[in-house]
Structure 1
């Protein structure tokens, strides 16, 4: 159980991390803190002393207690440990280990140590990751945003990272309100290519499954709609299925089972948010004894190892993976160099990767399909 002084200590520390107190700003009198937290003077003093000992606060005789300046304003000396933080939504599965390897390899070659954090695409976990980064000394940050399609309550932490002069770049997505340097796929074009490929094969009744709490999913859905409009095909709202991080293992499967049980308008093709989902739906179709691509075509996204993991090799959109990681590492090092070397000028650009369709064995012309 947390003690009273520790509770006060963590509340003050959280305000510092969120940027409510700037370096050398007075944090308030002991009386103010006593009233705010409803604790004794002894408790407040113990919390302040602990924070001062840890370097978060400092005292001026007769003036009060102030927020310490934790800004990294000096270039690391030769031989010093230089840390870069990498935050991803996941780090142990799917394409994320490959992206991390690309970044870690390049940074290691250039003398930087990498610490990897995972949010599990959870806002609260992202906050804890950001607090850890702000509490320690990192010279830069590569981050994949959490639930990037939704308003994020952690924006204050990113603004504080900017104020402290810590360079950062975002990968796979970015928070538009921050306008950070970012490295992303052209997800609209990717969704368009997935869908257009099926339309060119003669498919007209196409299901689209999209994750809607990440911006990649909403953009791929946009490409899905654009491809229909370009070809003159009507888009049925019933053919667009959305799901969230929390329902990714249930909603798509339930919805596909419902669609396949209907006697009318049985779909002939499916566009999937990613290869992971495509493989899950492939298993459902196998259980229903519906063959891919003979009876239904399937397109994934990312060209991950899962795209060739089953007996049906997936048609999919290629994701740069290793290259994105390497490019993110190169970009963050350019930003760090700009910070410490006045001679290093110029704009460091964002990068948007062009998608490329990889055609394999999971798609087929509709004219050759015979449904039972």
Structure 2
């Protein structure tokens, strides 16, 4: 049987104490430090668990005091959580998301807001469930949410519009839905793809392959930057060197290694949608006897923590995650205060050179 994630163990444990009346309404629960020691987990995991409990309205966090079991209240009484912001990302404990969530948390706590966190796992159905709950309860003051499969038509747009009709400000994170007119905060993905490709060209590469995600808007914009850089350099675009994948394909890359190895035969470098894809491609190449970067240069995007720890440290594009999280929090709080905000905040990217790309000479 698959072991439960630690944050769920913490949630279940506290729920059991509530059910057995060992914790009563208004009673303070264990501190973050105590829960870290009891379950041998990080502070981020404890905060994730508390956010899940808060999302279910089982606990209330009071700044400078602690976390308390919720008391009885009237359904839809928004004043109970009048300074609460919902944060919804595709993932929580993985990849770039801990840094983003931590910086959002710091910014909202400094302004005496609390927050609840949920994840969609890039599932449209999970996004629907979360949005439906937020619409039905009408409890939060604002919403920061990462779009789900943002390159595809989204059946949940009406739920976003329902939230807007309830005067709940929404800020989209990392991407956006073209047919939903709300502010978004992200890295400039087209610039990231363009900068990465220009870097490879400057290193002497002209046969540059790429792997992009087809179901996320970021993948399309990074592809556009890649194409623009090739055209500016007078390099012919060879579509057979571009591989399109979806969210579910990433975990199965090694099972389909021949698909990727075939596309890499005619190129000297490959730009990957993100560092996770780059890491998977690197593993496939090394396990197949293809040396990185001697035979194939590999470049990622995002500068996730794992990129430094790959068998060959990854050259990548830095995504300013902490600034991105802080800015998204500032924008939604400004909207709550009815201040003017811009339609788009797209942060500049920059190349981080490590060891996975070499200078190439024909």
- How high is the TM-score relative to the length of structure 1? 0.73
Per-residue CA shift, 1:4-62, capped at 9, x if unaligned? xxxxxxxxxxxxxxxxxxxxxxxxxxxxxxxxxxxxxxxxxxxxxxxxxx988xxxxxx
Structure 1: gaps of 5 or more residues: 1-53, 57-69, 339-344
Find out whether 1:101 has 2:89 as its counterpart: no
Find out whether 1:277 has 2:277 as its counterpart: yes
- The residue that corresponds to 2:194 in the other structure is 192
- The residue that corresponds to 1:18 in the other structure is none
Q: Distance in 1 between matches of 2:263 and 2:170?
A: 44
Deviation at 1:253, TM superposition (A): 3.7
Structure 2: gaps of 5 or more residues: 1-72
Find out whether 1:290 has 2:294 as its counterpart: no
Q: Distance in 1 between matches of 2:115 and 2:259?
A: 41
1:353 equivalent among 322, 327, 347: 347
Find out whether 1:325 has 2:305 as its counterpart: no
- The residue that corresponds to 1:259 in the other structure is 263
- How high is the TM-score relative to the length of structure 2? 0.75
Q: Distance in 2 between matches of 1:250 and 1:225?
A: 26
Deviation at 1:71, TM superposition (A): 9.4
- Contact 2:274–2:300 at 8 Å: present in 1 too? yes
Per-residue CA shift, 1:165-209, capped at 9, x if unaligned? 001101101111112111111111111111111111111211100
Per-residue CA shift, 1:127-166, capped at 9, x if unaligned? 0010121233011000000000011000000010111100
Find out whether 1:175 has 2:177 as its counterpart: yes
- Contact 2:314–2:356 at 8 Å: present in 1 too? yes
Give runs of aligned pairs for residues 31-180 of structure 1, distance below 5 A: 82-136=83-137, 137-180=139-182
Per-residue CA shift, 1:200-235, capped at 9, x if unaligned? 111121110000100000110111111111111111
The structure whose Rg is larger is 1
Q: Distance in 1 between matches of 2:109 and 2:187?
A: 25
- The residue that corresponds to 2:21 in the other structure is none
Find out whether 1:300 has 2:339 as its counterpart: no
Q: Distance in 1 between matches of 2:194 and 2:74?
A: 52
- Contact 1:206–1:270 at 8 Å: present in 2 too? yes
The 3-state SS of whatever aligns with 2:211 is: strand
Q: For this pair of structures, how many residues does the alignment match? A: 287
Deviation at 1:119, TM superposition (A): 0.5
Q: Distance in 1 between matches of 2:355 and 2:140?
A: 46
Per-residue CA shift, 1:320-358, capped at 9, x if unaligned? 1111111111111111111xxxxxx54455311011111
Q: Distance in 2 between matches of 1:85 and 1:158?
A: 13
RMSD between superposed Cα atoms in Å: 2.0
- The residue that corresponds to 1:312 in the other structure is 312
- The residue that corresponds to 2:214 in the other structure is 212
Q: Distance in 1 between matches of 2:83 and 2:92?
A: 21
The 3-state SS of whatever aligns with 1:246 is: helix
Q: Are residues 189 and 253 of structure 1, via their aligned partners in 2, closer, same or farther at CA, if it must alter by over 3 Å? A: farther
The 3-state SS of whatever aligns with 2:164 is: helix
